[in-house]
Structure 1
Amino acid sequence: MDVNAMNSIDEIGLLPMGRILVTEAANSRIPPEEMLMAILKHGRGEWGDISDEDRAANSVALNRSLRVVSQCRASNGTRFWIITEHDRSHTTILLPNEY
């Protein structure tokens, strides 16, 4: 994924995401168009495959400057996370084993 293209995404929807970072492992395993769609959904508050408890925690996090997490799965089966930090300075796309 072209990180420069990702960095041009500003505050979309509910969540200011700051700088978009992608780990090398995520970049090599997630199709670029799926990564882009996932980050757009994350910014709109579509958190992906998370529990109801995590969904509620994300809703609270939006108003309390806490970390927001989405869990996604690419069409090739690769699971990945999108994490926006509490201060909204950056959002990272990574594989679960990289956390």
Structure 2
Amino acid sequence: MEKNIQSGKQLSAKTQLSTTPLFPLGALVATPGALDLLDRNGANATVYLSRHQHGDFGTLCPDDAQENMTAIKYRFRVISAYDVGTERLWVITEADRSSTTLLLPSEY
């Protein structure tokens, strides 16, 4: 089990949920493709940003979710993936926490 960085709570590798943000998002950026995907599906970016910041990394396998918890602890890049409609949305927070980007895998 990994500890929540800010509160010290024990988190399971499976759920990775926290009631408090685990890291700052920095400046928020979205690519045209990500904005179009969200618009076409009537989805709000805030939902995905909140899930990302609170340890719900979406469709990542357990090993990748655990890597994100390590990345939070040691200030590496944090990556989440969410299914929006029939497409995938990535949310990436840079290691220095200066920015978080919403983008499509094809825009990486």
C-alpha distance after superposition, 1:23-66 (max 9, x if no partner): 01110111464322111111111100001111111010111010
Structure 1 residue 15: Cα displacement = 1.4
Q: Following the alignment from structure 1 to structure 2, what is the Cα–Cα distance between the partners of residues 91 and 13?
A: 14
Would you say the 8 A contact 1:15–1:45 is kept in 2?
A: no
- Report what 1:40 is aligned to: 50
- Report what 2:7 is aligned to: none
Alignment of 1:20 onto 2:31: no
Percent identity between the two aligned chains: 33
The answer for unaligned runs of 5 or more in structure 2 is 1-19
- Report what 2:95 is aligned to: 86
The alignment's C-alpha RMSD in Å is: 1.3
Alignment of 1:42-61 (within 5 A): 42-61=52-71
* SS of residue in 2 equivalent to 1:45: coil
Alignment of 1:70-85 (within 5 A): 70-74=80-84, 76-85=85-94
The answer for unaligned runs of 5 or more in structure 1 is 1-11
The list of structure 1 runs, each at least 4 consecutive aligned residues, that deviate by more than 4 angstroms after superposition, is none
**Richer in helix (by share):** 1
Deviates more, 1:26-35 or 1:82-91: 26-35
* SS of residue in 2 equivalent to 1:30: helix
* SS of residue in 1 equivalent to 2:96: coil
Q: Following the alignment from structure 1 to structure 2, what is the Cα–Cα distance between the partners of residues 34 and 53?
A: 27
Q: TM-score, normalised by structure 1?
A: 0.82
Q: TM-score, normalised by structure 2?
A: 0.75
